[in-house]
Amino acid sequence: MIAKDMLIIDIVEKYPQLAEVFMLEYGLHCFGCGANVFETLEDGMSAHGMTAEEIDKIVSDVNSQLVEKESATEGTDEGSRSKNS
């Protein structure tokens, strides 16, 4: 899960697949910006003119995507284990 107070670089390191999500779905290129080592996600989004409400919604949407992908991966892993058992 991500939070708006996380450094952008920390998000990239933990969830590299989110760089594409933020660029393509939200038009944010913060992950390639030199400021990503000291800016939080909220700082970067605010610099692009996003409101607090927009930031909260995006963080919520992205976390929902992460949960869905983790659930799908866990289901696949369990299916693989039961076939191999």
Is residue 62 pLDDT above 60, yes or no? yes
What pTM does this model have?
0.78
* pLDDT computed for residue 84 by the predictor: 56
pLDDT tens-digit series, residues 17-54: 888 888 888 888 777 777 778 899 999 999 989 999 99
2 C-beta neighbours (distance < 10 Å), count: 18
* pLDDT computed for residue 80 by the predictor: 52
The span from the CA of 38 to the CA of 68, in Å, is 29
* pLDDT computed for residue 78 by the predictor: 55
Whether 36 contacts 30, CB under 8 Å: yes
Q: What backbone phi and psi angles, to 5 degrees, belong to 34?
A: -65, -20
Domain coordinates of the chain in residue numbers? Answer: 8-80
Is residue 82 pLDDT above 80, yes or no? no
